[in-house]
Amino acid sequence: MSVSESWRNYVESTDEWLQAEALDSVRAALGSIADDVVAAIQQEVPDYARPLEGRFGASIRLGTEVALRALIGDEQDPSSDQVYRRLGAGEYRAGRSLDALQSAYRVGARVAWRRISDVAAAAGATAAAQRSLAEAMFVYIDRLAGESVEGYAEAQLSDAGDLDRRRRELAELLIAGAAPEAPELVRAAELARWPLPRRVACLALLGAHAERARHRLSGEALSARRGEATLLVISDPAALEREAARLAERLGVRVGVGPVVSPAEIPGSMRLARRAVALASEGEPSVVAEDRLADIALGAAPEILVLLRSRLLAPLDEETSASRARLEATLLQWLRHRGSQAAVARELGIHPQTVRYRMARLRELIGTSLEDPDRRFALELALRGGGSARR
């Protein structure tokens, strides 16, 4: 039910109301009463102590007149209740809280009641009628204030939605590589209320709670989507690696952290962040790209790695899958530890004799390639790129 409808229902349920003569007197005085109300609001509410000009002044004046006419039971346009919602929305868009408007309602009610009571009494309204009017007036003012609160909240939600959309658009421009001085980027940053910082961090997140993680990261984050990944551009990179690791563990998301860069370098940093998150795992949910550049480089050309594996590891094709997996794991650790059988045994959790047996088998299969430095390097690339696990 609208505010005006609630008021009319109240008036109709009142046994005694202002006599016709008193009602006419009040109606005739409404213009001067509205002037007194507006003047008192300007005098007593600091935020309104300025010329009531333009849309702001028109809204205050209209809101006062609509309220006064409703108070004496005059028929109102159904859309008149929107005046108070617009007042609330206007306060939000002016960057003020609702405190000033609530104060204006209280001042207006007090002044209006004093003037209406004087006019009604002079016209012969009974005390009972005036009491009914006073009670109804303050109930009505409370409801008007409620309408303004609703209008304020609606404007806030609408603005938040617009801001999110504009920030997504800005994120898309930055990730696409728009130059920081490009007019469309400068304008997008202004609309998004996101001044371009000197340095930013780029993150890629995977997981059901990526949005929750985004809201909990420090700094104002711009976000975009690429497939299943949430991409973030963060204006406050300080302590980001530590915070990202903590959120990854707490929320069960996987995080790839790109290098801290200037806005012009965002596309490259974001590519590294996306490759880093592809390396993340349950045991390592947060990966810093700069700590894993070699692994990222290996994953950058998968078709080359497939060809490299197929050629260099072809001698293992006749092995069973279990045997091949053990031999590959042993060879990778042997290459990493420069032939130290003791280190390989510790790494794989097997007996050194087992290492010697497997390496003898590998020499049979691969031959002199194990003695050539370049071939050893190529073998390690092939094994790392294939994701050989410990066995």
- The tens digit of pLDDT for each residue in 230-268 reads 898 988 777 677 777 777 777 788 889 999 999 999 999
Residue 180 inside a domain? The answer is no
- Verify that 84 and 230 share a domain, yes or no: no
| CATH value at residue 335 | 1.10.10.2840
- Residue 295: CB atoms within 10 A of its CB come to 18
What's this model's pTM, rounded to 2 decimal places? Answer: 0.53
- Verify that 244 and 151 share a domain, yes or no: no
The helix/strand/coil state of 253 is: coil
- Verify that 227 and 254 share a domain, yes or no: yes
Residue 103 inside a domain? The answer is yes
pLDDT at 181 exceeding the cut of 50: yes
201-206 vs 286-288, strand pairing mode: unpaired
**pLDDT for the residue 323:** 93
Residue 173 inside a domain? The answer is no
Among the three residues 299, 321, 344, which one is the final residue of a domain in this structure?
Answer: 299
pLDDT at 391 exceeding the cut of 50: no
- The tens digit of pLDDT for each residue in 297-344 reads 877 777 888 888 888 899 999 999 999 999 999 999 999 998 899 999
**pLDDT for the residue 389:** 43
Which residue, 238, 196, 199, 189, is CA-closest to 217?
238
For residues 18-24, give the mean pLDDT.
60
| 193 to 165, 182, 189: CA distances (angstroms) | 12, 17, 6
Residue 192 inside a domain? The answer is no
Please answer whether residues 171 and 231 qualify as being in contact, where contact means their C-beta atoms are separated by less than 8 angstroms: yes
Q: What is the mean pLDDT of the chain?
A: 79
Domain span at residue 232 reads 199-299
**pLDDT for the residue 342:** 92
pLDDT at 65 exceeding the cut of 80: no
Give the Cα separation of 26 and 28 in Å (integer).
5
Residue 128 inside a domain? The answer is yes
- Verify that 8 and 150 share a domain, yes or no: yes
- Residue 216: CB atoms within 10 A of its CB come to 14
**pLDDT for the residue 295:** 82
Structural domain count of the chain:
3
- The tens digit of pLDDT for each residue in 339-364 reads 899 999 999 999 999 999 999 999 99
377: left (phi over 0), alpha (psi -120 to 50) or beta: alpha
